[in-house]
Structure 1
Amino acid sequence: MAGLTFVDVCSGAGGLALGLEQAGFAPRLLLDDDEVAVATLRTNRPRWNVLRSDLLDFDPAEHPESHDVDLLAAGLPRVRSTATAGRVDSGLEERLLKATVYLVHAIRPRAVLIENVPELTHSDSHEAFREFARIELDHLGYAFRWFVVDAVDFGVPQNRKHGVLVAVRRQWAEAFRPPVPTSREPMTVGAALGPSMAARGWADATRWADQADQPAPTLVGGSKNRGGADLGPTRTKKKWATMGVNAHTVGDRVPGSDFVWDPELGRENMVKLTVEQAALLQGFPATWQISGLKTARYRQVGHATPPPVGKALGLAVAEALHSGSTIFAAG
């Protein structure tokens, strides 16, 4: 369906926005409060209208270009799932979720897409938000679906589940269907990163790729109050170790020709993934440039919605709006 438009809030590194662009949507406005994330967006898409603003302070009345769009999208940061207990505002996640729903009053999109942790769809800890969203969206004339998608089902070399809320105005809502998996076989870490591991002449790249024969565990970005970049909690680090990866840190570059890979000797003889490789595991194209210093760059990647997931969700919404319009016109 040509000419679809969207507003994207909490845009981060642009994973959801890029996926929506691939699905045929054009952005009217993107916003994020993080300086380096805004730099990432402007570097990769200079023509996008990117605003640096906290979602909680954003006033749509000052940005008429955000009104009357087809889709309001929000890939909200996974604050609760990635932050160390006691080091983050525990109410921030709920305030961001509610702020997105409140934007619907002013923007009045034909559809709404909110992506977050899978627990969003069923956990008792999110029950209050689900009830809040039900009341608000029903009042505004939307029907909605809660569901979970896994990035690995859409060609992303990572087991990463997403809790999704899609709300569509009632005249189009009946036509909406959640996206159907597009990948029959999961892509492995080795298949995704093998070529980059060999980029500096490392002879063992193929042997390593053969051992990294499964999708990655979920990447996490952590909070701004958390320390340096690593690939996740203890259980995740152990999973990476079975693939010969030192997950306690993020590397500056891929192995050189003289690197000795021998996981039995400990972490220092395991490979370290770079930020660029982490981005590949999130489904970003190799050409997508992430701005900032290493920890800030990795945080953007870890929080991102994989673009292939964004594309699949965008295509599902576009199909509903197209089919619903046809049905509505015929009626």
Structure 2
Amino acid sequence: MRKEIAMSAAEHKQTLEVVEICAGAGGQSFGLHRAGFTHRLAIELDVHAAHTLEQNLRRLLKEDGTEAPEDLVRVGDVADPDVWDPDAFEKGEIALLAGGVPCPPFSIAGKQLGSSDERDLFAWAIELCGRMRPKALLLENVRGLSANRFSGYRQAVLDKLHDFGYIAFWKLLNASDFGVPQLRPRFVLVALQPEYAKYFRWPEGRPGDAPTVGEILDDLMRENGWSDEEVDAWVAKANKIAPTIVGGSKKHGGADLGPTRAKKAWAELGVDAMGVANHAPRPDFTPTKGAPGPKLTTKMVARLQGWHGEFADWDFLGLKTSVYRQIGNAFPPPVAKALGEAIRDALLQKGEPIALVETSSTIHDPVYRLLRQQSRPLTAEQIITKLARTGVFMDQPEVERRLNHLSHDFDLQKTERKSGDLAYSLGQFKAFVGQDDHQRHDLFTQYRTKIS
């Protein structure tokens, strides 16, 4: 198996090079490598995650007989021109631009600040795609990005990709459909140049096939002497997939397995989610008072995140809390591999081409699209009337709700009419796309030590 995978990567290395931004500790990297992509460069902000990534990537390339670039992994803010120069690559030179740009701007567990969050790099990554012109783009983020709150943001992304000449696809994928024993929905954007887009098909998962927490961790719970009887009882209780594992952040202290709702779900599985253990339970293990069972080790968390089977061979560097964050913030390698294989096959133009729907006609936010096309401000009543003519029917509360959402990510300009009604026009996208004077620079510098 290992030999076949290595041959696949070596076979395609000349045409399937990848540049990965916000690479983390390598969950996406590992999956893409297994799918046949070879890293030309990876950029990561966190120094510990970057060291983990570099050590493992260099080992994989060596196993493939591929000479790793001297500057394989760079550490720092991916949007800082002193860290790397995207324009050093010729347009179209790279097969795939990939990344897991920061999730907090869109997470329902956060404030959903979107473009106002200094960590937001999604729109910047789209501009980067326009600069580098890779054959394909892969970006993944949390489910929150698929919500109505960000419909205008998504529309702006699709419109920009269309301007750059790409066909774009959005889809919500569940990690558990790809053998990962965890409830981890991810909202994925794939964009390809037209000659490749017609060969792209989303990977097909297998719902219900993921092992339970007990099944996947059975051997690890036994490795330090916990009795067979106790482990068997624990495995029987841990009979579901895990809730979403969160890496936490430097803003919120050490490692634990998530917010209150997640801790309750862990407790039902017999897991103490109040921290991470240094080792598996010993023979004399008894839960601390009030705890539902043992804590997990980072090795166990990694397995729940998809580092098992063909992905088991990955060494994490750093202390426990750092390692936990690296694992918890990662994209599960099996999901990345499935996406990588689908993109690889499209780039190699495998299979029968399919008819494409013109993506510029895909409307995520009709209010955004209408205002973007108008040369004069419109009142809410005028917006309702014009949308109805196109077959889109909204009442005033819905229009006002969408206008409020748009105001967070765009300069929504208001003009008062003589009647007292407000008329709206859509100004600039507030998102950071590389502007020298954007507020992101000051905010990023201010919170640099707490950004993870």
TM over 0.5: yes
**Matching of residue 291 in structure 1 with residue 317 in structure 2:** yes
**Matching of residue 170 in structure 1 with residue 170 in structure 2:** no
Residues 247 and 329, structure 2, Cα contact 8 Å, conserved in 1: yes
What aligned pairs does 1:319-330 form with structure 2 within 5 A after superposition? 319-323=345-349
What aligned pairs does 1:60-139 form with structure 2 within 5 A after superposition? 60-61=85-86, 63-64=88-89, 68-80=93-105, 81=107, 91-93=117-119, 95-120=120-145, 122-139=146-163
What aligned pairs does 1:174-185 form with structure 2 within 5 A after superposition? 174-182=198-206, 184-185=208-209
Q: 2:262 aligns with which of 232, 236, 242?
A: 236
Residues 156 and 283, structure 1, Cα contact 8 Å, conserved in 2: yes
Go from structure 1 to structure 2 and tell me whether the alpha carbon gap of 1:103 and 1:281 turns closer, same or farther (over 3 Å shift).
same
Name stretches of at least 5 consecutive residues in structure 2 with no aligned partner: 1-10, 59-67, 354-452
Residues 84 and 226, structure 1, Cα contact 8 Å, conserved in 2: no
Residue 128 of structure 1 and its aligned partner are, at CA, apart by 3.3
Q: What is the match of residue 282 of structure 1?
A: 305
**Matching of residue 42 in structure 1 with residue 66 in structure 2:** no
| 1:46-96, Cα deviation, whole Å (9 max, x unpaired) | 346111121221443464389611111011232243876599995134x31
Q: Distance in 1 between matches of 2:315 and 2:115?
A: 30
Go from structure 1 to structure 2 and tell me whether the alpha carbon gap of 1:200 and 1:324 turns closer, same or farther (over 3 Å shift).
closer
Q: What is the match of residue 245 of structure 1?
A: 271
Relative contact order higher in (CA < 8 Å, ≥ 6 apart): 1
> What is the TM-score when the length of structure 2 is the normalising length?
0.67
Paired residues in the alignment total 323
When Rg is computed on C-alpha atoms for both structures, the one with the higher figure is 2
**Matching of residue 140 in structure 1 with residue 181 in structure 2:** no
Q: Distance in 1 between matches of 2:246 and 2:50?
A: 20
What SS class does the counterpart of residue 92 from structure 1 fall into? coil
Q: What is the match of residue 2 of structure 1?
A: 12
Go from structure 1 to structure 2 and tell me whether the alpha carbon gap of 1:323 and 1:246 turns closer, same or farther (over 3 Å shift).
same
Residue 183 of structure 1 and its aligned partner are, at CA, apart by 5.6
Q: Distance in 2 between matches of 1:228 and 1:82?
A: 21
RMSD: 2.6
Residues 83 and 222, structure 1, Cα contact 8 Å, conserved in 2: no
- Identity among equivalent positions (%) equals 40
Q: Runs of 4 or more off by more than 3 Å in structure 1?
A: 61-67, 82-90, 324-327
What SS class does the counterpart of residue 317 from structure 1 fall into? helix
What SS class does the counterpart of residue 55 from structure 1 fall into? coil
Residues 17 and 95, structure 2, Cα contact 8 Å, conserved in 1: yes
> What is the TM-score when the length of structure 1 is the normalising length?
0.90
Q: Which amino acid letter does the alignment assign opposite residue 254 of structure 1?
A: A
**Matching of residue 154 in structure 1 with residue 178 in structure 2:** yes
Q: What is the match of residue 39 of structure 2?
A: 27
Go from structure 1 to structure 2 and tell me whether the alpha carbon gap of 1:67 and 1:171 turns closer, same or farther (over 3 Å shift).
closer
Name stretches of at least 5 consecutive residues in structure 1 with no aligned partner: none
Go from structure 1 to structure 2 and tell me whether the alpha carbon gap of 1:184 and 1:232 turns closer, same or farther (over 3 Å shift).
closer
Q: Distance in 2 between matches of 1:70 and 1:313?
A: 14
**Matching of residue 13 in structure 1 with residue 28 in structure 2:** no
Residues 19 and 39, structure 2, Cα contact 8 Å, conserved in 1: yes
Go from structure 1 to structure 2 and tell me whether the alpha carbon gap of 1:140 and 1:66 turns closer, same or farther (over 3 Å shift).
closer
Residue 147 of structure 1 and its aligned partner are, at CA, apart by 0.5
